[in-house]
Amino acid sequence: MESQWTSVEKQVWTTVLALSLTLFLIIVRRGRKTSKTYRMPPGPWGFPVLGTIPRLAGLTHEVLTNFAKNYGPLMTLKLNSKSVVVASSSNVAEEFLKANDRVWASRPPGTVTNVLSYNCSDLICSAYGPRWRYARKIFMVELLSARRISSFQLESKKS
């Protein structure tokens, strides 16, 4: 018994197929574009959407040790659409973070941090720069001065 597709069903399936193919191509192209613009350390290959997450099955420290044997002490992992640099030895991590301390001083922007911290304007989530240094200076002088800390201690002893 043959099923006959109506023209509406054909159009729906054609549209779904076209949108799926377009989305897949956008994701693949976006992943390739970011890997070409930055020189990243070597790392395991990943799937277009999931990255290397499926390859992280098992005990994380053992998987990362095996990756370090293959790719070296500094490697790149793709976690979903984000590239993450992993330093697997303390010497490499110290050298890497000391050489690039100002680059890595800021937190990556995100939707949740934008909402909770008033568009990343607080001390914790704001990007490292002149504004962050000024806010930290005010925080240290006004809130963490010896006089303020002693007044906090006196109030807690009274309670």
DSSP state of 47: B
Give yes or no for a contact between 78 and 52, defined as CB atoms under 8 angstroms apart.
yes
Q: Tell me the C-alpha distance between 42 and 77, whole Å.
A: 9
Q: Tell me the C-alpha distance between 72 and 56, whole Å.
A: 17
- Residues with Cβ within 8 Å of 49's Cβ and at least 6 positions away in sequence, in order, are 27, 80, 81
Residue extents of the structural domains in the chain: 6-37, 38-104, 107-159
pLDDT number for residue 32: 60
pLDDT number for residue 3: 63
By C-alpha distance, which of 23, 21, 60, 109 is closest to 31? 23
**pLDDT digit string (tens) for the chain, length 159 residues:** 456 778 888 888 899 999 998 988 887 777 665 545 668 899 998 887 788 888 888 898 899 999 999 999 999 998 887 888 899 999 998 988 888 787 777 777 778 888 888 888 888 888 888 988 998 999 888 888 888 788 877 677 776
Q: Whole-model pTM above 0.75?
A: no
pLDDT number for residue 37: 64
Q: Which residues pair with 87 in a beta bridge?
A: 74
